[in-house]
């Protein structure tokens, strides 16, 4: 099957129309069954999802990394992550799709919660979280003057419960603060424009030195390294999941000089873009 010219972006898989509800619930079989139990790699720019499996198994690809989703487990996927699934036939479970504005309203914000919401999460679904997920599904199927408010409130309670349980034994990160959230949003919006560290600092109305200290505290690396990591992560996605020429990938990410892009990619990833594409394509073909 040929790779697309770009990574498909959907509201719900296979749909590009407006998001159908304030929060969307559906059974795994309602959508996966329509696609032969295989959901090809795609991403959502303005939507997070929670998957829960009650029976069957799902092989999941998250930005090219494989993992398995088993009965009694959940998977949280934030926006922008390229993901795909291969479900065993007849798999049962629930898919909860949450628009980014709904996720963003979950508060009050803390560094630990912000960090949790920005990354993919995978773990056992506790009894308490399972009850909340069931309540979300029931509210979605119901009606009433305040159905939307109930859906949002229950979804927030579910996300908070999942985050609380998965971080209960993990020290809270010291750092991810509002400026990091704003920086990540700017990176997403200006990834293809070749912005420099100074551009991002200017957009946040801080000095480059201040932003560098914030990033170093939050991510353990310099601002320049953090920005290049974001660019190269997107480059890996485009090289692995599209048929775009390597030079075009570089152009899309702000590199006007293809050889320079290839050198930076090799320095960061340990192999050339062409070698990376060949290796990832071979691994995927062998699966």
pLDDT of residue 40: 86
DSSP 3-state of 53: strand
pLDDT of residue 157: 96
Crossing angle (nearest 10°) for helices 178-190 and 208-219? 100
Q: Which two tokens stand for residue 205?
A: 């109305």
Closest-CA residue to 135 (of 173, 116, 161): 161
- Tell me how far CA of residue 139 lies from CA of 24, 144, 146, 153, in angstroms: 11, 9, 10, 10
- Which residue positions in the chain have pLDDT lower than 50? 1, 8, 10, 12-17, 169-176
pLDDT of residue 115: 85
Q: How far apart are CA 4 and CA 242, in angstroms?
A: 5
Do 233 and 226 touch, CB atoms closer than 8 A?
A: no
Q: Please give the model's pTM, rounded to 2 decimal places.
A: 0.60
Q: How far apart are CA 232 and CA 61, in angstroms?
A: 18
- Give residues with Cβ within 8 angstroms of 169, minimum separation 6: none
pLDDT of residue 172: 42
Do 91 and 28 touch, CB atoms closer than 8 A?
A: yes
pLDDT of residue 245: 94
């Amino acid at each position: 099957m040929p790779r697309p010219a770009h990574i498909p972006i959907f509201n719900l898989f296979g749909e590009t129309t407006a998001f159908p509800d304030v929060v969307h619930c559906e059974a795994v079989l309602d959508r996966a069954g329509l696609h032969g139990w295989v959901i090809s790699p795609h991403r959502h720019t303005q939507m997070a999802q929670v998957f829960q499996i009650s029976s069957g198994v799902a092989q999941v690809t998250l930005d090219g990394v494989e993992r398995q989703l088993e009965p009694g487990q959940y998977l949280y996927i934030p926006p922008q992550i390229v993901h795909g699934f291969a479900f065993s036939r007849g798999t049962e479970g629930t898919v909860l799709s949450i628009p980014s504005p709904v996720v963003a309203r979950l508060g009050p914000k803390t560094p630990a919660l912000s960090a949790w919401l920005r990354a993919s999460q995978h773990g056992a679904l506790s009894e308490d979280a399972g009850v909340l997920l069931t309540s979300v599904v029931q509210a979605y199927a119901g009606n009433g003057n305040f159905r939307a408010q109930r859906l949002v409130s229950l979804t927030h309670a579910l996300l908070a419960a999942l985050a609380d349980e998965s971080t209960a034994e993990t020290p809270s990160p010291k750092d991810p603060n509002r400026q990091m959230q704003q920086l990540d949003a700017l990176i997403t919006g200006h990834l293809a424009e070749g912005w420099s560290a100074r551009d991002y600092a200017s957009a946040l109305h801080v000095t480059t030195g201040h932003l560098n200290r914030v990033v170093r505290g939050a991510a353990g690396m310099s601002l320049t390294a953090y920005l290049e990591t974001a660019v190269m992560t997107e480059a890996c996605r485009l090289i692995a999941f599209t048929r775009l020429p390597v030079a075009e990938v570089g152009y899309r990410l702000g590199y006007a000089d293809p050889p320079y892009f290839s050198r930076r990619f090799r320095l960061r990833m340990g192999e050339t873009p062409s070698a990376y594409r060949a290796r990832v394509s071979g691994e995927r073909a062998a699966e």
